[in-house]
Amino acid sequence: MRRVLILGGTAEARALAATLTNDPTLHVISSLAGRVTNPRLPEGEVRQGGFGGPDGLAAYIRDQAITAVIDATHPFAQQMTTSALQATTRTATPFLLLRRPPWHPTPTDNWHHADSLTAAATLLTTHNHTRAFLTTGRRSLPAFTPLTHLWFLARSVDPPNPPIPPNVQILLARGPYTVPGELSLMRTHRIDVLITKNSGGQMTTAKLTAARDLSLPVIMIDRPPPPPGVPYAETVEAASAWLRTGEAAAQTG
């Protein structure tokens, strides 16, 4: 029986685990980093907590006789991807990135691109915004709170670490979200700019539709590119095919 390790935490990781656990030739282990309280658990065996960097992950791969690793973490989990690539290279373990496609603007969108949280914060200083909707995760708050001329509505699954500046209101919520709900939220709080990461997927895309409907600008933080030469897939189906047929079933970064 082949033993497959899924580095998860995303909807795609859960869908992949559900698909693969139906295959009697596979034993699937899903690993969650443990950064989210009460995460949605995938089907099959689940491991929670970090590995201790690439050395720890490499040791786990050897100890558990893992035969393939699929990195289905968040598109911005760059440190985990780097560790996974190093660990699988050291252990000569087949490795695949599963990344949902990024969002793309429509002709009526008003996107301003940034390549980092710092660049996004700098963009905010060059425009006349006063009330921002921040959906970049609880760990990103320190990059924006020095902008005291702005009021922020910051949404995250778990609360950020205190102290919370007076110009920030925290909204704890978990997707999927709806367009009517996002429209109501932005109108109620008189939002005039949206800041988000290009994570892709359907669970949180409603905020982009709402911003478009309200003619609001969006500061879009672009995702990091995949490591060059690494096989990757954009769908659960393509990742499943990679396990059956090898790298030819996946794209290469």
Q: What is the pLDDT of residues 37-73, one digit of tens each?
A: 677 889 999 999 889 999 999 999 999 999 999 999 9
- 205 and 123 assigned to the same domain: yes
Name the pLDDT band for 249 (thresholds 50, 70, 90).
very low
State residue 250's pLDDT score: 56
- 208 and 115 assigned to the same domain: yes
- 147 and 177 assigned to the same domain: yes
State residue 175's pLDDT score: 87
- 63 and 149 assigned to the same domain: no
- 158 and 240 assigned to the same domain: no
State residue 36's pLDDT score: 66
- 151 and 212 assigned to the same domain: yes
Phi then psi dihedrals of residue 60, to 5 deg: -65, -45
193 contacts 127 by C-beta, under 8 angstroms: yes
205 contacts 229 by C-beta, under 8 angstroms: no
- 192 and 234 assigned to the same domain: no
State residue 148's pLDDT score: 92
Name the pLDDT band for 246 (thresholds 50, 70, 90).
low
> Nearest Cα to 222, choosing from 70, 133, 114?
114
Neighbours of 248 (CB within 10 A): 9
| Residues 6+ positions from 4 with CB-CB distance below 8 Å | 20, 26, 27, 28, 29, 66, 67, 68, 69, 70, 243
- 208 and 236 assigned to the same domain: no
Share of the chain above pLDDT 70, in %: 95
The rounded distance, in Å, linking the Cα atoms of 97 and 74 is: 11
Q: Is residue 106 part of a domain?
A: no
The rounded distance, in Å, linking the Cα atoms of 52 and 65 is: 18
The rounded distance, in Å, linking the Cα atoms of 6 and 70 is: 5
Q: Return the CATH number at 146.
A: 3.40.50.720
Span 118-168, pLDDT tens digits? 999 999 998 889 999 999 999 999 999 889 999 999 999 999 988 898 999
Share of the chain above pLDDT 90, in %: 76
- 236 and 147 assigned to the same domain: no
31 contacts 16 by C-beta, under 8 angstroms: no
DSSP string of 127-186, one letter each residue: S---EEEEES-GGGGGGTTT-TTSEEEEEESSPPPSPPPTTEEEEE--S---HHHHHHHH
* Average pLDDT in the chain: 92
Q: CA separation (Å) from 120 to 38, 117, 123, 130, 171? A: 30, 5, 5, 15, 20
Structural domain count, the chain: 2
Burial of 95 (0-12, 13-18, 19+ CB in 10 A): buried
State residue 203's pLDDT score: 87
Domain that includes residue 21, residue range: 2-101+225-252
- 158 and 66 assigned to the same domain: no
- 182 and 130 assigned to the same domain: yes
146 contacts 127 by C-beta, under 8 angstroms: no
